[in-house]
Amino acid sequence: MYMIGNDWDTALTVLENSENFKKFLALVKQEYDTKTIYPLRENVFNAFKLTPFNEVKVVIVGQDPYHGEGEAHGLSFSVQDPTPLPPSLKNIYKELYEDLGIEPAKSGDLTKWAKEGVLLLNSTLTVIKDTPNSHSKLGWQPFTDYVIKLLNSKDTSIVFILWGNFARSKKAFITNPKHLVIESAHPSPFSARYGFFGSKPFSKTNDFLIKNGLKPIDWDIKK
């Protein structure tokens, strides 16, 4: 279940070989064997499969997967087609338009961003059907915190985008001055007007990448 199939396997060797992690994965397997869990088992590590360790330029931290059928597929904020756009993603697209003039996509599938080098990382990678935050205490967070610390230790510059208080709590792990942290309110309709709208995270990200000799992200998923 945990073999990703790219350089993340090497990066995560120490963790993957630890007894605690093996026990945790057995617990996750038991959840899948006995309950309806999202995303589908084969999509749990989708963010890592689509964005190899050495290709990560940007990290967008989410909380936990969407809990409705056919929605989550292992990428934070992203939904599978033909799922209607969730409210937070609508607001992300709205800010993208205001920031870079990119017309909102009809699709909520952010796979193209992942392939551009944007690690769409939820802190918790699984959820019980129709039960938000049901796996928040299962044990995913030590794993995803480790991932953030691992990325923080890289020499190449990375942009960490932290939306909302939960994501911002991960700022403590980002100590390397080579990286940029962009933080604001969450794009949820409840909070977007308190600092998410107008924050221009997409242009700020690309400006930083260009300044550091890296190719900017093409944020237009319609191409």
> What would the CATH number be for the domain defined by 8-211?
3.40.470.10
What integer pLDDT is reported at residue 16 of this predicted model?
A: 85
Rounded distance, CA 121 to CA 130, Å?
A: 21
- The 10s digit of each residue's pLDDT in 104-149 is 999 999 999 999 999 999 999 999 999 999 999 999 999 999 999 9
Backbone angles phi, psi at 152, to 5 degrees: -60, -30
Return the amino acid letter for 204.
Answer: K
* Angular region, 67: left φ>0, alpha ψ -120 to 50, beta rest: alpha
- Peptide bond before residue 39 is cis, with ω within 30 degrees of 0: yes
Joined tokens for residue 102: 């990119």
What would the pLDDT profile of 165-191 be if each residue is shown by its tens digit? 999 999 999 999 999 999 999 999 999
Distance CA 138, CA 126 (A): 9
| 3-state SS record for 48-70 | HHHCCHHHCCEEEEECCCCCCCC
This prediction has a pTM of 0.97
Q: Residue 162: name the closest of 184, 192, 138 by CA.
A: 184
The per-residue pLDDT for range 92-102, each reduced to its tens digit, is: 999 999 999 99
pLDDT exceeds 80 at position 9: yes
Q: Assess whether 64 carries a catalytic annotation.
A: yes
| pLDDT band with cut points at 50, 70 and 90 for residue 46 | very high
Extents of the domains making up the chain:
8-211
Among candidate residues 9, 33, 64, 130, the one labeled active-site is 64
* Dist CA 19 CA 10 (whole Å): 17
